Structure 1
């Protein structure tokens, strides 16, 4: 047997392995303890103090805290909007409670229907004709026109000649003109114990007054707000969103506001008892949202407001014909809400909860606009700015109710098409999704403009023009100039 060492035993010793953690030399004046000190890498934003708070600079604390507060505020606004949108669909009982009675009671009230019009010769004659077809046994119609609007006056007086026992004509000579001034002028000669308001382009169901009369009797209400629905969703990308706004507002949101006993009324298809209008001395002719202002005053005085919605009884309207026109209309509404907020009638509400709710609701147009504008900014911030992971996750919170809202809008569009017998195409859903952010930017721009006008003291009324896009083609008689002159002279 060989006694020579094995070849394995002659190999060179293994090299010393590299340390996993880098040694740190002891500080001057400190001796070695025999234990190797190491540097542990620290993740950005992680506390090095052994506590639970991140090790941020003052600037980082301010910046990240602001982002977090903004994200939480946007989430609250978006969630509130979603909750109001879906209120009517919480249960089958809630949905049924929002409707008119299927078996209306016999008529008891006399109605006065006010229809103001300014430069509405294309649509107002047909509106008056259809209002005159109501099946209620006791009502009158008062059409109000400006003294400087001969075209509309002609159409209105012709309608009065066709329905001499139903339609009266009032000429408003106030300067400058606006809708509440016209309404107050006609209220002076109204004979009904319930007064209703309609716009010059409205398509009204012939059985509406019958079910409204029954609702007053069933509930003992001071105010009954009926449904209003824009119809021409296929006209443009923004008209689609405008139509859905009305659908959710009258189908669901107003019912929630009425249940909360604080409600901004709609501009038409609203019926108020004559006693309540006498108490309020009509409409505030200095407010650009006279409907909202009247609702706030009546709510503050404890008036009972009932909202009812049936698709077959809704008043049908059209969206503004141009984006510029919609921009001016939304500016006027927002500025009117600002005026109502500043007027302070809501401070007379009996409970703190109602007053806080009123303040929140009157600020809602601006909060919604800010939400829509800041969501894309938040997304860009998340993608382009490096922030700690927890902060980044919080900034995504507003997207959750926003996405759910978009899904609810798509479902609402489907239901709208079904109940109104409108064909909804795939391209309409695509426009709905793609129009989300542009429409929110548009609303934000209108909100900013309303604030600027209010600060400048500009309370001028910007009228929304109408073309009858929601109506079927129906021949409307157009008289000759000679017949027109004779009609006006005969009915003055």
Structure 2
């Protein structure tokens, strides 16, 4: 009989963080000062459009063009550094298995699940493959109190002894970080990680992370394992998604680590020192990309994140509508993270430096904002080549038009080339066609970004559920066997 921890208490407003103040949380989107600053910029823009609409339009086009150039240049620099940076932390199988069980730290695995009955059987099997002493392993399956369908699915499965079901109290926000904070209150491990319900982690991943932490200095409080997809070949969307992950975990993430820039964590397989996580305040229950926010708070505290050479396989989103839902949530969370950490920008710059702040802005804010602006510039480009209207000619005088055209042509080519480089470096030749057709993925990104901006205004903390189980069941490779990312 597996123990079920009941909903023992509710927390005010659903907040179950360990020390975040209102100023550090996305519970409210804009602070009073930020609203005043936004209002001032809006008023200035309105005055400019009234007094000199063409001149104001020129300034806006130049500003956005420079932002595009900076964002593309920063990403390319990360990719370049990622190809030459020191390798991710390697812990060979033999070394991971050689550590005596008595010397391994206690480990807690948090698994938040909401309305996912279709993957419970697979989840239990994947967790059962984890090679870690059972007396030192604690797995907390975090279920919402009113999630009857998932609770019923769990009741039909024989659960291993190290797994406990934790019922998260109903009320307040219903988000993954809120559930994780409730699980953190119950956790007893020295190290903590999160797996999503559909994850298939490397069976030796916990051992590898424990060895890595023993090697690393105390200021490294997080090691992020690599993520990949087991259904990459299902359709063009999963191929694009896989190529994006290959670029991120093989090049961009190592590049950010090499730059000593803040690292937006992945939502799963980030392994943390429990004591540091509690001191940092846990997760922000109101931030829908809580992993990115935690990565920033790690950097602001003068602590570090490293990359672990261990793979967790996930299910790539294969459905267009489902993909847009998931990506719009990620983008909305990126915007929340940037806004929250910019409530005191001078203090932020003092803690992470100008370079870190520039990278944070270009990466975390620039990604969704520029994606949302893409349709505007695509429309302007199409309209110009079709009809050459005078209003566009006025917006793009020669000194603006030619740099913008260079940005448009070379920037797009550079990003496609970066995808080809990533596919080749990872020896994923099945992704070369996806790299060449990647602009189609940009259209999807832009739709998601526009939706994210709208939701940030109307439903900032709404957690849009991602449906899993859309691909054929996948049989994990045996421990120690190589798996393509």
- Alignment TM class, shorter chain as reference: 0.7 to 0.9
**Per-residue deviation at 1:325?**
1.2
Instruction: Considering fraction of residues, name the structure with more helix.
Output: 2
CA deviations 1:238-260 (Å, max 9, x no partner) are 32222111111122222233342
Is 1:413 aligned to residue 423 of structure 2?
A: yes
**Per-residue deviation at 1:448?**
1.9
Q: Counterpart of 2:479?
A: none
Query: Larger Cα Rg: Structure 1 or Structure 2?
Result: 1
CA–CA distance in structure 1, aligned partners of residues 267 and 61 of structure 2: 38
CA deviations 1:140-167 (Å, max 9, x no partner) are 21111122223322343455x4411x11
**Which structure has more RCO (C-alpha within 8 Å, separation ≥ 6)?**
2
Aligned pair count?
400
1:426-441 superposed matches below 5 A = 429-436=432-439, 438-441=440-443
Change (3 A) 1:59 1:206: closer
Contact 1:321 1:466 survives alignment (8 Å): no
Change (3 A) 1:231 1:79: farther
Q: TM-score, normalised by structure 1?
A: 0.73
CA–CA distance in structure 1, aligned partners of residues 385 and 189 of structure 2: 62
Greater Cα shift, 126-135 or 383-392:
383-392
1:72-221 superposed matches below 5 A = 72-90=66-84, 94-95=85-86, 97-102=87-92, 103-104=95-96, 106=99, 107-137=103-133, 138-157=136-155, 159=157, 161-164=158-161, 166-175=162-171, 176-220=173-217, 221=220
Contact 2:318 2:470 survives alignment (8 Å): no
Change (3 A) 1:255 1:416: closer
CA deviations 1:97-124 (Å, max 9, x no partner) are 2242334472532210011111212113
Change (3 A) 1:350 1:75: closer
Contact 1:117 1:144 survives alignment (8 Å): yes
**Per-residue deviation at 1:471?**
4.0
Q: Which runs of 5+ in 2 are unaligned?
A: 1-51, 477-485
Q: Counterpart of 2:404?
A: 395
**Per-residue deviation at 1:171?**
1.3
Q: Which runs of 5+ in 1 are unaligned?
A: 1-57, 475-492
Contact 1:134 1:205 survives alignment (8 Å): yes
CA deviations 1:184-240 (Å, max 9, x no partner) are 122122111011100000011111111111111111221111111133233332322
Change (3 A) 1:389 1:452: closer
CA–CA distance in structure 1, aligned partners of residues 149 and 54 of structure 2: 65
CA–CA distance in structure 2, aligned partners of residues 123 and 417 of structure 1: 30
Q: TM-score, normalised by structure 2?
A: 0.74
CA–CA distance in structure 2, aligned partners of residues 172 and 100 of structure 1: 36
